[in-house]
Amino acid sequence: MSQPSHPADRAAEPVYNLLYEDEDARVCKDIPESECRHQPRNFVMASLALSLTKSGDRLMDPKIMLAWLFSVLGVPSVFVGFLAPIRESLALLPQLFIARWIRERPVRKLFWTAGSLGQALCLAGMALVAVSAEGVRAGVLILALLALFAISRSICSVTHKDVLGKTVSKTRRGAVSGYASSLSGIAAGGLGIALIAVNTEEPGPLFFAVILGVAALLWALAAGAYALISESPGATEGGRNGLVEAIRQMSILKTDAPFRRFVIARTAFLATALATPFYVSIAQSRTGADLAGLGGFLFASAAASALGGAVWGRLADRSSRWVMIASGLVAALAALIVLVPLGLGLAWANSAGLYIAAVFILSIAHQGVRQGRSTYIVDLGTTDTRAAYTAVSNTTIGVLLLAAGAATGLIYQIFGEAIVWVLGGSALLAALLSLRLKPVSG
């Protein structure tokens, strides 16, 4: 490999050589020749950018941080139900509109940079709201900024896989995400442990403003790192309007029974995505938990993500259907852990540790749901149907997420802690529905 001349190439070279000692030219066989000499820079900058954003994701996790902030600001409980749906569905649905438009641009890395800066600005806005508003006004403003954050995220999601495919060889791409996930998990776990060690009184709005500000800075730095990637112009043809394609193929829900049963089961599994903010909100209201409690939730989520990914991935290769069944049962167990002390009036019901344990188990279950459903739909589909399955299921679930968020938020507002029965029952129903799925592996 020739001596790098660009400053970013020179800075990245030692890091890349530390990770990969070989200089085998074959690692460049499926990327443009013009990018081969820049691969160390591209690998390091992509890994750095993703590490920064994934760490930011952990810091501002809507299911934990924003749910807790809502309690601190006195936001009505109905708003809690919208945190996960807005974050998830608005990061998914816009991709159907914008993918074709981005595909028509030969150089796409700046879309990722712009999306990352957009997320940084939204987080900075949330930090400002945290110290200047409360009640309904704070809830509306934060949800609006979260919606814009999710839309900006969708731009990054559409762009990244395409840019990565042009700038990093296939034998190195998995490591980009792998290193990012590991580093972000360490960062989140470290923050959780630090908050547990501090163990002071309940955090106020200023604490959350600082956390959101730090997360915004991470996204801004990530935008700068990604802009340093060397990307050659790529093909601009072949893009399709994803929304039009999804609507055109919606009929498969009626004609394809195995796929229809999968979508129904996946709908019931929405409970695992929706439940965490409610658990956090109930814990905060019952225990008035301090920084140690918040740190416990962050650590539990990070640990569950690391553990769940390692366990479920291997099991899904044997039988993704049974992974979905097991995940639903585990999520129902998490609900039971909360419901029994609440129902019996035990002292545990006022312990932050109870809810932290439930969130840990629930997070492991949600990892299994995600791994199982993604593997199942790939195995269920064929070369001819796989794209349609993905587009239709993602569109359907994206819309239903918003509806489910409104429904669960309203239930929580009216019936309070009874929401745990609803979510636990939905997870159990999802496991039972998964028993009826067509076996595709194992």
pLDDT band at 417 (very low <50, low <70, confident <90, very high): very high
Share of the chain above pLDDT 90, in %: 39
Closest Cα partner for 429 from 301, 265, 253, 205? 265
Closest Cα partner for 27 from 14, 12, 9, 42? 42
236 close to 105: Cβ distance less than 8 angstroms: yes
pLDDT band at 411 (very low <50, low <70, confident <90, very high): very high
- Tell me what the mean pLDDT of segment 185-199 comes to: 71
Report the alpha-carbon distance of residue 430 to residue 331 in Å, rounded. Answer: 10
pLDDT score at 390:
77
Report the alpha-carbon distance of residue 426 to residue 158 in Å, rounded. Answer: 31
pLDDT, tens digit, for every residue of 64-122? 999 999 989 999 999 999 999 999 888 888 877 777 777 777 777 888 999 999 999 99
**Whether residue 54 has pLDDT greater than 80:** yes
How many Cβ atoms are within 10 Å of 289's Cβ, its own excluded?
Answer: 24
**Whether residue 195 has pLDDT greater than 60:** yes
The b-or-e profile of 83-112 (16+ CB within 10 A means b, else e) is bbbbbbbbbbbbbbebbbebbeeeebbbbb
Residue in this structure with the two tokens 């139900």, named with its chain if needed: 81
pLDDT score at 51:
84
Rounded to 10 degrees, the C-alpha dihedral 107/150/421/272 comes to 20
Report the alpha-carbon distance of residue 217 to residue 55 in Å, rounded. Answer: 11
Report the alpha-carbon distance of residue 283 to residue 68 in Å, rounded. Answer: 9
- Tell me what the mean pLDDT of segment 126-130 comes to: 97
Report the alpha-carbon distance of residue 32 to residue 169 in Å, rounded. Answer: 10
Report the alpha-carbon distance of residue 438 to residue 324 in Å, rounded. Answer: 12
Closest Cα partner for 424 from 272, 254, 247, 221? 272
**Whether residue 434 has pLDDT greater than 90:** yes
Candidate from 40-54, 118-132, 267-281, 408-422 with smallest mean pLDDT: 40-54
Share of the chain above pLDDT 70, in %: 79
| DSSP summary character for residue 93 | T
Judged on CB neighbours under 10 Å (0-12, 13-18, 19+), 120 is buried
pLDDT, tens digit, for every residue of 131-152? 999 999 999 999 999 999 999 9
pLDDT score at 287:
82
pLDDT score at 26:
44
pLDDT band at 25 (very low <50, low <70, confident <90, very high): very low
Give the three-class secondary structure for 250: coil
pLDDT score at 36:
66
122 close to 152: Cβ distance less than 8 angstroms: yes
- Tell me what the mean pLDDT of segment 258-278 comes to: 94
Q: Say what the pTM is.
A: 0.83
Candidate from 26-35, 134-143, 202-211, 308-317 with smallest mean pLDDT: 26-35
- Tell me what the mean pLDDT of segment 410-418 comes to: 93
